[in-house]
């Protein structure tokens, strides 16, 4: 993974589809959790969305799994960036975003569209064949023009070869094998899973993950393994059902080794 030079993570971590989760330790946990499926006070707050743009050139589209993994890392980089923390220039909007429902939207860009996106305030993360740029949250009804014009559809990507098994000890974001999602939808879900894992980790575990460059894998679980994962108590993403899949569908389990140990 590579990150653009201006976006080196800070030394202290911060604590879209819309992520809805049964995970327990997240900002606003409990009755006011941003991940509860039932309506609550967060629905009355101004709603924000975290924009992610994946570069998809006609001649060289990224591999699907690398796009999913890079999107998940991009979310983690944004959460831990110095500009997102304390009194940083993105800190207030990051707090506003997390005070409401947690939404992420993935759009695609190529050529001049990508160059215009890169000119906007944000962070570009590269992983293998994939490039994803993540931006500070924007109001749901107030996207910058150069991002609003980008397409959400058309993110159908493939893996040239089946991905190899995840390396031992690497955090894995497991996808529900019973759901079919476009790459863009799955990228948002992987980002939700990474964010839930980040929230549940201790400060020391976060620092270790960040300093290692946020290694992770995204894989589709076997049916029997998925049943075990959803009963394990690990962070679980349930989708709000705005697009593609039914409301409340379980999409991702975040399996970070430190969460199992702790």
Q: What is the pLDDT of residues 193-209, one digit of tens each?
A: 999 999 999 999 999 99
Would residue 41 count as lying in a domain?
no
Would residue 31 count as lying in a domain?
no
Which range of residues forms the domain containing residue 81?
A: 2-26+46-261
Would residue 88 count as lying in a domain?
yes
55 neighbors 124 (Cβ within 8 angstroms)? no
Would residue 34 count as lying in a domain?
no
47 neighbors 41 (Cβ within 8 angstroms)? no
Residue 239 confidence (pLDDT) above 90: no
Structure tokens at 169: 């000890």
Structure tokens at 56: 């998809």
Domain count, the chain: 1
Pairing of strands 172-175, 217-220: parallel
pTM: 0.86
Would residue 212 count as lying in a domain?
yes
Would residue 256 count as lying in a domain?
yes
Q: Over the stretch 9-57, which tens digit does the pLDDT of each residue have?
A: 333 333 334 444 333 334 434 445 555 555 666 666 788 999 999 999 9
Residues in CB range of 119: below 8 A, 6 or more apart: 146
108 neighbors 155 (Cβ within 8 angstroms)? yes
The reported pLDDT for the residue numbered 19 is 42
Q: How many CB atoms lie within 10 A of CB 202?
A: 13
* Res. 262 pLDDT band, cuts 50 70 90: low
Q: Which helix (H) or strand (E) holds 48?
A: strand 48-55
Residues in CB range of 140: below 8 A, 6 or more apart: 46, 47, 48, 49, 103
């Amino acid at each position: 993974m590579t990150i653009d030079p201006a976006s080196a993570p800070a030394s202290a971590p911060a604590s879209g589809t819309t992520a809805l989760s049964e995970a327990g330790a997240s900002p606003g946990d409990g009755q006011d959790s941003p991940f509860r499926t039932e309506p609550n006070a967060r629905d009355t707050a101004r709603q924000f969305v975290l924009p992610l743009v994946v570069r998809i050139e006609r001649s060289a589209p990224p591999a699907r799994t690398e796009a999913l993994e890079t999107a998940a890392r991009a979310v983690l980089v944004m959460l831990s960036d110095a500009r997102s923390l304390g009194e940083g220039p993105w800190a207030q909007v990051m707090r506003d975003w997390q005070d409401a429902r947690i939404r992420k939207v993935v759009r695609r860009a190529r050529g001049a569209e990508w160059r215009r996106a890169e000119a906007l305030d944000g962070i570009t993360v590269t992983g293998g064949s994939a490039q994803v740029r993540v931006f500070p949250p924007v109001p749901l009804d107030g996207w910058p023009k150069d991002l609003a014009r980008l397409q959400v559809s058309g993110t159908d990507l493939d893996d040239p070869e089946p991905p190899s098994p995840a390396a031992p000890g690497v955090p894995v974001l497991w996808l529900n094998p019973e759901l079919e999602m476009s790459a863009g939808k799955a990228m948002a879900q992987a980002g939700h899973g990474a964010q839930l894992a980040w929230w549940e980790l201790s400060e020391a575990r976060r620092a270790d993950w960040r300093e290692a460059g946020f290694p992770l894998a995204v894989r589709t679980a076997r049916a029997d393994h998925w049943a075990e994962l959803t009963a394990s108590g690990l962070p679980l993403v349930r989708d709000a059902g705005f697009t593609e899949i039914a409301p409340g569908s379980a999409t991702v389990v975040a399996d970070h080794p430190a969460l199992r140990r702790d």
